[in-house]
Amino acid sequence: MKTLSIVRIKKSVSEKGLKHLWLNIEKLPFLSSFSLCFIGESVDDPRETLEKSLPIYELLVRLKSLSKLKLDILNFFDNIDEELFYLSQSLRRLPLLSCLVLDFRHAYKLTQRGISNLCGLFEVNKILTHLSLNFTNAPKLQTEGLLILFGGLKQLPSLTALKLDFDSCPNLEGKEIQKLFDKIRSLKHISNVQLIHKDK
């Protein structure tokens, strides 16, 4: 199997179920595309269960053939800034990763520290061509986070397609998003840029 997509909609996922899931995914060393999405009801107690039994960064580091990754569970982490450090460290060890989609919707505690931790990945990954980051409804994200993010994007020489969603981020104004867009457009290697934002 080279492609795996897992979506749980309005279902409770137990700690035992998560552990069983990770153990089975580890048996797919040639997996090249992996998508994981939990939608609807939380995973039992997400603040406890995911932080204790979903060390996804430990799983990912074993998937050496992975070239495309989509994660839509990051909003479940209570300490998301710290989790992004460990996630970034794992993704740095995936030599073939060229497409990354991370969904941070409703990550109420995400700050510029988390953005900085994520950008640690960009320091070593020189083959990433597609990047999509959804920051919808991240109330603690501020202008400093945009500057940090742009600094990280400059370190991705192979990046050609970029999508950033800042919808419903109350501390970000349209003029700040426009400045970020103009800076990104100055990076000639990024030919496809999509930025989403609505003013308060």
Q: How many domains does the chain have?
A: 1
What residues contact 178, with CB distance under 8 A and at least 6 apart? Answer: none
**According to the model, what pLDDT value does residue 55 have?**
64
Report pTM.
Answer: 0.87
- pLDDT bracket for residue 79 (50, 70, 90): confident
Q: What pLDDT shows up at residue 6?
A: 72
Cα dist from 8 to 38, 63, 112, 181, whole Å: 5, 22, 29, 34
Helix/strand/coil (H, E, C) string of the chain?
A: CCEEEEEEECCCCCHHHHHHHHHHHCCCCCCCEEEEEEECCCCCCHHHHHHHHCCHHHHHCCCCCCCEEEEECHHHCCCHHHHHHHHHHHHCCCCCCCEEEEECCCCCCCCHHHHHHHHCHHHCCCCCCEEEEECCCCCCCCHHHHHHHHHHHCCCCCCCEEEEECCCCCCCCHHHHHHHHHHHHCCCCCCEEEEECCCC
Residue 41 scores a pLDDT above 50 = no
**Residue 61 near residue 94 (C-beta atoms within 8 A):** yes
Domain limits for position 60: 3-196
- Residue 20's pLDDT is 76
CATH of the domain at 13: 3.80.10.10
For residue 53, the model assigns a pLDDT of 42
Mean pLDDT value across residues 116-127: 94
Q: Do residues 1 and 29 make contact, with C-beta atoms less than 8 angstroms apart? A: no
Between 70 and 72, the more confident residue is 70
Query: In the prediction, which pLDDT does 102 show?
Result: 95
**What's the CA gap between 138 and 49, in Å, rounded?**
22
Model confidence band, residue 49 (pLDDT cutoffs 50, 70, 90): very low
- Give the pLDDT band of residue 39 (cuts 50, 70, 90): low
- Single-letter amino acid code for the residue at 106: H
Helix axes 143-153, 112-119, angle to 10 degrees: 10
State the Cα–Cα distance between residues 196 and 200, nearest whole angstrom.
13
In 3D, which of 179, 169, 193, 39 has the Cα closest to residue 108? 169
